[in-house]
């Protein structure tokens, strides 16, 4: 592995850790767009899961009091049901098409929400809808370590406050990614190369999460909403751009 590749790995780890500490999700969104330039998809996804879990765990103590079990459990139940399907799809999904589809989703919906003049507070579907979004997030978590985007967008249209959303993101992503990592390990995706790369990048992931957690504390509800939507948009742009590089 050359110097450029190592620098890209460390930058991806720092960016992913920072966003995770700041928003409660996003390690995969930020890191994949960088790591897929130097790593094959199966290795990059497994590495994202490890780094996501470590960054989530490192900031969990600071945010555990924001976790509302009544809000979280439908997402978690749906997510755990979706993870096995996503794990099965890892060996069969076309990475270019997959990244293009997710990237377009992350370009369109955050833009619509950002320019919406009327704050949304949908109650449509109740807990059943929450569980369905969790199921879809679980599939994406098992497939690419991207459990966060759909629940994040859904929480934005639910109209929850900053701390409520953060509690949902934190609990859901940690649970789903732990389950996905266990299934990937059982399927043989966690190789010696993945573990070596994890040892290389985890210090930067933890450092990034620490900075992100400190930054979160100074954000207002509106600032947090804008930051989250902006990060989703930038991540979508990165995924769309890199998807064309695979063909």
The Cα–Cα gap between 227 and 238 comes to: 16
pLDDT tens-digit readout, 135-154: 988 888 777 767 777 887 78
Interval 48-57 mean pLDDT: 87
Q: Which pLDDT score, from 0 to 100, does residue 205 have?
A: 93
Q: Is the pTM of this model over 0.85?
A: no
Higher pLDDT, 174 or 105: 174
Model pLDDT for residues 226-237, shown as the tens digit of each residue = 887 787 787 778
Q: In the predicted model, is pLDDT for residue 247 greater than 50?
A: no
Mean pLDDT, rounded, for 46-71: 83
More confident residue, 211 or 156: 211
């Amino acid at each position: 592995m050359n110097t450029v590749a190592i620098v890209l790995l460390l930058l991806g780890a720092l960016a992913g850790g920072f966003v995770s500490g700041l928003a409660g999700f996003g390690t995969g969104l930020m890191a994949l767009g960088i790591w897929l330039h130097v790593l094959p998809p199966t290795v990059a996804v497994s590495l994202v899961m490890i780094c996501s879990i470590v960054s989530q765990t490192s900031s969990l103590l600071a945010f555990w009091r924001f976790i509302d079990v009544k809000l979280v459990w439908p997402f978690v139940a749906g997510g755990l049901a979706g993870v096995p399907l996503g794990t099965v799809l890892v060996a069969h999904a076309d990475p270019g098409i997959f990244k293009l589809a997710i990237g377009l989703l992350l370009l369109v919906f955050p833009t619509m929400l950002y320019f919406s003049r009327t704050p949304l507070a949908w109650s449509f579907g109740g807990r059943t809808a929450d569980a369905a979004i969790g199921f879809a997030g679980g599939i994406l978590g098992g497939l690419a370590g991207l459990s966060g985007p759909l629940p994040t967008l859904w929480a934005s249209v639910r109209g929850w406050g900053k701390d409520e959303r953060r509690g949902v993101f934190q609990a859901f992503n940690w649970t789903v990614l732990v389950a996905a990592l266990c299934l990937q390990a059982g399927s043989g995706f966690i190789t010696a190369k993945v573990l070596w790369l994890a040892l290389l990048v985890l210090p930067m992931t933890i450092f990034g999460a620490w900075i992100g957690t400190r930054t979160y504390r100074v954000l207002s509800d509106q600032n947090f909403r804008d930051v989250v939507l902006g990060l989703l948009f930038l991540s979508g742009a990165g995924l769309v751009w890199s998807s064309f590089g695979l063909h």
